[in-house]
Amino acid sequence: MSPLDGSPTAGQTARPLCVSLVGAGPGDPDLLTVKALKRLRQAEVVLTDDLVDTRVLACLPASARVLRVGKRGGCVSTEQRFIHELMIREARSGARVVRLKGGDPFVFGRGGEEVAALREAGIAVEVINGLSAGLAAPASVGVPVTDRRCTPGVAFVTGHNGDHGVAPDWAALARSRLTLVVYMGLTRAAVIAQSLRDGGLAAETPAVIVSAAHTPRQRECFTTLADLPAAIGREGLPSPALLVIGEVVALSPQWRSDVGLDGSISAMGAMGAMGARVPSIALSETAALGDAIEDSRVAARFQAA
């Protein structure tokens, strides 16, 4: 192990007390890191969240004791304290303890609080990253979250920050031109969409909702910011789901057909004339293919990308 803090103290011959905080990724066990898989295979006690896919749990040895400590929907502090106490107790018993979390432990996973509690108890911690849903879900539907032709970057934000969290500044985000990846935003989608529109983000900004990414239950719905809350209701998309909002969404090969837009140049011209926004990638790609587009601004944009 390569714990974040502490090596065996003087005179200590046994393994140091240590908990591995392991990211389980979004679902598909093929997306586990090699290091995560190693730790799962060595685990004696596993404290797992609800979000962790059963196929990932199937990688554990049959002898491992699995404690389910999920708390979907609520983030009550006493429950979190209970998880801390349990981890500390199991680690002190000398067991190889894995704390398993969906996605990445440090991305809306309360990993920071758990590291602090363990270190305070004198227990070493190693953190093994997992593939966060915020990266995996958009990619699974063909959305490149930081494509520089559309955006200067990406913001991972929470749509539900519990009782004690810091609420996102939606107006600032609306102005930022960043791709917005909203975790835990399903039930508050209407408020979020309205706040972004109030902040100046255009109603027709492309958006996609991705539910249960990288699981057999995955579903997605491409839409626009204005239609986002209605789309969730209409499609009945269940939790866990991410909202991805920004021009990059229109780069997905699926976007144009799903929102009822035709991919042809003439249709794009007509849409432009009607005031609809045309995804810049479609024009750029066409220019790259040497098609007869005489718009020098498009060519310049492509070269800059």
Q: Which sequence positions are flagged as catalytic?
A: 49, 71, 184
Mapped onto helix, strand or coil, the DSSP state of residue 126 is: strand
Residue 115 or 184: which CB sits closer to ligand SAH?
A: 184
168 binds ligand SAH (CB under 6 A): no
Query: Which of 182, 187, 134, 135 shows the shortest CA–CA distance to 158?
Result: 182
137 binds ligand SAH (CB under 6 A): yes
Residue 24 or 225: which CB sits closer to ligand SAH?
A: 24
63: which DSSP letter? Answer: T
Q: How far is the CB of 109 from ligand SAH (least distance, A)?
A: 4
- Type of residue found at 84: H
213 binds ligand SAH (CB under 6 A): yes
Q: How far is the CB of 41 from ligand SAH (least distance, A)?
A: 22
Residue 128 or 210: which CB sits closer to ligand SAH?
A: 210
Cα pseudo-dihedral 222, 227, 228, 232, rounded to 10: -80
State phi, psi for 25 to the nearest 5 degrees.
75, -175
State phi, psi for 5 to the nearest 5 degrees.
-135, 150
Candidate list 17, 43, 47, 133; residue touching ligand SAH; CB under 6 A: 133
Residue whose structure tokens are 């199937």: 58
Candidate list 26, 206, 229, 279; residue touching ligand SAH; CB under 6 A: 26
Q: Are 276 and 265 in contact (CB under 8 A)?
A: no
Rounded-to-integer distance, Cα 245 and Cα 11, Å: 55
201 binds ligand SAH (CB under 6 A): no
Mapped onto helix, strand or coil, the DSSP state of residue 272 is: helix
Candidate list 51, 143, 154, 245; residue touching ligand SAH; CB under 6 A: 51
Residue 213 or 282: which CB sits closer to ligand SAH?
A: 213
Candidate list 184, 228, 231, 268; residue touching ligand SAH; CB under 6 A: 184
Binding mask 81-120 for ligand SAH (x = CB under 6 A): --------------------xxxx--xxx-----------
Residue whose structure tokens are 């913001």: 155
Q: How far is the CB of 28 from ligand SAH (least distance, A)?
A: 9
Q: In terms of DSSP H, where are the helices of the chain? A: 34-42, 54-57, 77-92, 111-120, 133-140, 170-176, 189-198, 228-235, 255-258, 265-273, 280-288, 296-304
Residue 104 or 114: which CB sits closer to ligand SAH?
A: 104
Binding to ligand SAH (CB under 6 A) within 231-260 occurs at: 239-242
Residue 108 or 255: which CB sits closer to ligand SAH?
A: 108
Query: Which of 160, 298, 170, 162 shows the shortest CA–CA distance to 242?
Result: 160
Candidate list 210, 221, 248, 282; residue touching ligand SAH; CB under 6 A: 210
Residue ranges binding ligand SAH (CB under 6 A): 26-27, 51, 101-104, 107-109, 132-133, 137, 183-184, 210, 212-215, 239-242
